[in-house]
Structure 1
Amino acid sequence: MKNTIAVLALSSFLAITACKKGETKGETTEKTDNKSAEAFVVDSVKVDDSVKITDSLKASFTSKLLVFPTLKDKKLLDSIYFQNDKIKDFSKAGLQAYIENEKNNYFKSMKEDNEDSYSDITYAQNWYSDSRMKLKSNNNGYMHIQYTGSAYIGGAHDEYGFSERVFDLKNSKKLELSDITSMPKNKIEAILMKNINKINSGTTDSDGEVKNSEMLLVDKIPASDNFYFDEKNLYFHYSPYEIAAFAAGDITIPVSWEELKGTLNAEFKERMKIK
């Protein structure tokens, strides 16, 4: 039954993504920094609640979803809320109702577990499920959203992960790697392996040098769909256990535009003003 709870705890994020108990809150509407899209606004809904399961066990649930009142394209919205195809109503009220239902299902699954499953819990513990969406940037018609999820259901440590998605608002679609570069994936993967130690994930040697490569669990780093970019680089983000041991944490690997020179999509290069 604990395995079932684990799936429920992370499914909203990985299938991917402060209020008092019982309260919900929508955050203040934000405007993006893209001057060409001044009418584009972002709102949010959030649930933060907890219940007592046994004398020693408390379960907490937190979920935050962004709301895009000016986006109307259903296919684009389906892609933004990819965590669960049960989301049909993209309004603020609809998304609030969705995460309230997710909370109720999580608490129900915890309460319905038999007492034997919790018999070995002899000291106070807080098991939790936490999933969030965060708008990282909206520039040149490209909107980057980071989805994070974490959970703890006993054991040595909690679990967490990231999903990065970029949406082409001009063309109303999720951006694919092929929309950025025509470089074959095997060549990108060779660059990823070469650049594995360029950004510190927290794994260093005694001299302070980044040693992500020493924690790798794979022979080849995949050029995955978990990417984003800025004016300098394309970045691939890997969650714990995806390519390296948990102790390495999450790892981000940059690939510079110079390394992709000659393979960049013409429209993408123009919109991002890459020389």
Structure 2
Amino acid sequence: MKNLIVISSIVFFSMTACKKAESHPLAQKEIYAIDSINITDTIKITDSLSLIYSSNELYLPFIQNPDLLNSIYFRSEDSYHFSKSELKISVEKDMLKHYDELNKLYKLKRLNGLWVYKNQMQMKFLQYQYMHIQYTDIHNEGDKIKQCIYKDKMFDLKNNKEMALGDITNISTNQLLALLKKNMYKVFFNMAGDVRINEFDEKIFKMNGLREIPNTNNFYFDTKGLYFHYNPYEILSSSSVDFVIPISWEQLEGTLNSEFKQRMNIPKSN
């Protein structure tokens, strides 16, 4: 068994620009100290079966609200225990759980090969007291099954909560699905400019392996717009890659919540 535990730290800087009309014209610098706990272990179960476990867990000392922390560490089985040492213990428990499960499977099915379990948290956006964390889980079961799942979460640090679409826009479900489908065409067919859905034959749509929009619950945003992230095979039936559909803030003009728009400094469309 080879075990590597690395605890690293970085400082995340973000600039919050103030509006001209306000009394503080200089940009406000937001400084966030971020640590991470990295554990990598290779475990030989038998001569023909090995497990590689790898975990990258963020530790966010600037967040203290217990309910918000519980939302951030939703994968942890130890609710409300999120100090650096407790997170490390939680990751080690998860590693041992995977080892025990694989060991039991071997006794039942005589498995072989290299089995890989990887999970990581990545800080993608941290500005205007909004935070985007992307969670990735990768399972490689021998040479047969490879699964990669992405989960994106947006957090409002000012109000200590995980965000829902309703915190960003009041667009109706039907309008949103139509907009996603239009932009999906543009991404998939690499088209520029406006797109009308009826310009495309549904047969061509299906022949290219595109599926209907399955959900709108895996989203994130940055200064340019809103993004909907779909896992392998959710949008492209024959592809093992993930798929992201962007929607610009201009496309959502008139539906954005006023407080959100103000905090994000989103300008009015011309």
Larger Rg: 2
Pairwise CA distance, 1:37: 6.1
Q: 2:254 aligns with which of 258, 262, 273?
A: 262
Q: Percent identity?
A: 36
CA shift for structure 1 position 224: 1.7
Task: Give per-residue Cα distances to partners, 1:154-173, cap 9 Å, x unaligned.
Answer: 35441101111111111111
- Structure-1-length-normalised TM-score: 0.80
Corresponding residue for residue 98 of structure 2: 106
Residues 42 and 199 of structure 1, relative CA distance in 2, 3 Å threshold: farther
Amino acid across the alignment from 1:70: F
Q: How high is the TM-score relative to the length of structure 2?
A: 0.82
Q: Is the alpha carbon distance of 1:179 and 1:212 closer, same or farther for their aligned partners in structure 2, counting shifts above 3 Å?
A: farther
- Tell me which amino acid in the other structure corresponds to 1:45: I
AA of the residue aligned to 1:193: K
Q: Distance in 2 between matches of 1:82 and 1:212?
A: 36
Matched, 1:229 2:225: no
Which whole-Å CA distance do the structure 1 matches of 2:185 and 2:244 have between them?
9
Separation in 1, partners of 2:83, 2:66: 12
2:128 is the counterpart of 1:140: yes
- SS of equivalent to 2:46: coil
For 2:120 and 2:158, the matched residues in 1 are separated by 25
SS at match of 1:108: helix
- Distance between the aligned counterparts of 1:112 and 1:222, measured in 2? 35
**Equivalent in the alignment of 2:156:** 168
- Cα deviations across residues 23-74 of structure 1 (Å, max 9, x unaligned)? 2111123223246464521111121101112222211111111001121101
The letter for the 1-side match of 2:157 is: L
Using the alignment, how far apart are the partners of 2:115 and 2:250 within structure 1? 45
Give the counterpart letter for 1:40 in structure 2: Y
SS at match of 1:263: coil
Q: Counting strand residues as a fraction of each chain, which structure ranks higher?
A: 2
The structural deviation recorded for 1:114 is 4.2
Runs of 4+ in 1 over 6 A off after TM superposition: none
- Paired position in structure 2 for 1:272: 264
SS of 2:252 mapped into structure 1: coil
How many residue pairs match? The answer is 242
Superposition pairs of residues 200-215 of structure 1, within 5 angstroms: 214-215=208-209
Amino acid in the other structure paired with 1:173: K
1:170-209 alignment runs, 5 A limit: 170-199=158-187
| Higher RCO, 1 vs 2 (CA within 8 Å, ≥6 residues apart) | 1
Following TM superposition, by how much is the alpha carbon of 1:84 offset from its aligned partner in structure 2, in angstroms?
A: 3.2
> Structure 2: 5+ residue runs without aligned partners?
17-27, 191-203
* Unaligned stretches of 5+ residues in structure 1: 1-19, 205-210
Amino acid at match of 1:33: S
User: Contact 2:153/2:220 (CA < 8 Å) preserved in 1?
Assistant: yes
Report the counterpart of residue 210 of structure 2 in structure 1: 216
1:112 counterpart SS class = helix
2-structure distance, mates of 1:114, 1:151? 17
| Cα distance change, pair 59–212 in 1 and its aligned pair in 2 (3 A) | farther
Residues 107-116 or 48-57, more deviating = 107-116
Q: CA RMSD in A?
A: 2.3
